[in-house]
A = this chain, B = another copy of it.
Amino acid sequence: MARVTRVAPMPEPIALPLVGAPPPERRDAARNRELLLDAATALIERSGPRGVTMDAVAQAAGVGKGTVFRRFESREGLMAAVLNHSEAEWQLQVMSGPPPLGPGADPWDRLLAFGRTRLETTLLHAELIREAGRTGARAAGAYSFTVTHVRYLLTELGVRGDLPILATALLAPLELPILDQQVNLDGFPVDRVHEGWVDLARRIVGR
């Protein structure tokens, strides 16, 4: 897989250590993280998140079990890592993809596109989010990203009030537990839930 004819090898980019940054990962550690993430993703694809054990992931990655826990803290942590990876693309679409989801469109249209896709994404990754528990859905990355984005859109729309709180309120009905209840237990069609959310957005934004 490596190129055979390498005439003038590119100098490796040197990672200048940022002051205050945590020390970089050792090479074996990094390699194992990759191996584990891949193994976990594959196993999850095959048997669903619930059917995957930590032992299985360790074995599939050709690594000891202790290593899995060292890298990911817990089962939830591992699931959260996989989840993050799955949602990275969506986040990219929001930040720099084509409108109306990405930048360039009217903020209201962006908000609607955001809500629609967020709802779909959450439902799509439902099992994984469930397995990732607290660590996942509202962990550092994913959650604060959505709040920040919605807060920004609300600002653009000229909404007055406590925006961090309002943004959270607008996002809350899109969280898995609520959607789960409405769609899977109450049996509401997804479209109806979505229309309800748009109505909510209208009332909050004041249109």
Using a CB–CB cutoff of 8 Å, the interface residues on chain A facing chain B are 130, 134, 137-138, 143, 161-162, 164-166, 168-169, 172-173, 175, 177-178, 180-182, 185-186, 188, 192-193, 195-197, 199-200, 203-204, 206
Contacts and interface: CB of A to CB of B under 8 A. Distances in A.
Given A177-B177, A192-B162, A200 B138 contact: no
Stoichiometry, copies per complex: 2
A178 B173 contact: no
A203 B120 CA distance: 26
A30 B151 CA distance: 52
Contact of A166 (B168, B172, B196): B196
A7 to B, nearest CB: 53
Contacts of A165: 182, 188, 192-193, 195-197, 199
A166 B196 CA distance: 7
Given A177-B175, A178-B175, A166 B199 contact: yes
Contacts of A188: 164-165
Given A203-B203, A204-B203, A138 B177 contact: yes
Contacts of A161: 196, 199
A39 to B, nearest CB: 27
Given A134-B177, A173-B168, A178-B172, A162 B195 contact: yes
Nearest to A185: B138
Contacts of A169: 172-173, 196-197, 200
A64 to B, nearest CB: 28
A203 B159 CA distance: 12
A158 to B, nearest CB: 14
Contact of A175 (B134, B172, B204, B206): B172
A166 B200 contact: yes
Contacts of A175: 172, 175, 177-178
Among all A-B residue pairs, the 9 with the closest Cβ atoms: A165-B196, A172-B172, A169-B173, A172-B173, A169-B200, A203-B203, A172-B178, A162-B196, A138-B181
